[in-house]
Amino acid sequence: MPVRLVLADDHLVLRQALKALLERRGLEVVADEADGLAAVDAVKRHTPDVAVLDVAMPVMGGVEAAREIVRLKPECAVILLSGIEDSRFVKEALKVGVRGFVQKSQGADDLVRAIEEVRAGRLYVSPGASQAIVEAASTPSGSSSQLTPREKQVLALVGEGKSTKQIAEALHISVKTAEFHRGRLMKKLNVHDTANLVRYAIREGWIAP
């Protein structure tokens, strides 16, 4: 089954060009709309796999539309398509559930890659994005100040590449307790995979890069 998409951009020529490009890549554009509100309605009607939204649209902008789409159809991954240069904007978009950020200056291959990545449950940031955008998207929203001393110890050991069993041995605790602490710190830091946890540990200075 091809990936099913809703596409929204208020520029008709761009929207038609994107639709043609995506369909040539074997993707199915089930609806293409000119504003965010229409995109939300289309997602409700068609239940697509991915919604690709321009940031600046009439009636309802891309971030607001993304918020509604994620609330109504959380299984639909959302990609924002724009000349994104503001890291604060990216943080807000991440909060509402956006999973992909693609620069309009990039080619069709970049958008197709973004669709593949968000479908696989991963976050995608366009290669053309500024370093500030990349950092905003890869920085967990939580703070290490929320962590207990034990959780900080676990974080440091995770950052060193230790397995849960090795962490338990190093701290003289059971594997079950180590798993508990690891799960708690990931929840507090809003991190959902080991790679981002290691990145956070390096950024916070718990381990050397």
pLDDT for 138 beyond 90: no
Q: Give the count of domains, the chain.
A: 2
CB proximity list for 195: less than 8 A, separation 6 or greater: none
- Rounded to an integer, the average pLDDT of 26-55 is 95
Same domain, 83 and 97: yes
Q: What sign does the CA torsion over 126, 127, 130, 133 have?
A: positive
Residue 25 maps to a domain: yes
Nearest to 59 by CA among 96, 33, 95: 33
CATH number at residue 183: 1.10.10.10
Burial of 20 (0-12, 13-18, 19+ CB in 10 A): exposed
Query: Percent of the chain having pLDDT more than 90?
Result: 40
Same domain, 36 and 123: yes
**Would you state the pLDDT for residue 97?**
82
**Would you state the pLDDT for residue 64?**
92
Q: Single out the residue in 94, 111, 138 at which a domain terminates.
A: 138
- Rounded to an integer, the average pLDDT of 167-187 is 89
The band of 183, judged by pLDDT with boundaries at 50, 70 and 90, is confident
Secondary element (H or E) of residue 155: helix 149-159
Tens digit of each residue's pLDDT (9 = 90 or more) over 60-107: 989 899 999 998 998 999 999 876 555 666 777 877 888 888 887 777
124-125 vs 4-8, strand pairing mode? unpaired
> Measured between alpha carbons, how far apart are the two ends of the chain, in Å?
42
The Cα–Cα gap between 166 and 53 comes to: 44
What's the whole-model pTM score?
Answer: 0.65
Task: Share the mean pLDDT of the chain.
Answer: 82
Same domain, 65 and 90: yes
| Contact present, 23 and 29 (Cβ < 8 Å) | yes
Residue 209 maps to a domain: no
Same domain, 169 and 111: no
Domain range holding 58?
4-138
Residue 10 maps to a domain: yes
Same domain, 31 and 120: yes
- Rounded to an integer, the average pLDDT of 130-144 is 55
The Cα–Cα gap between 205 and 196 comes to: 14
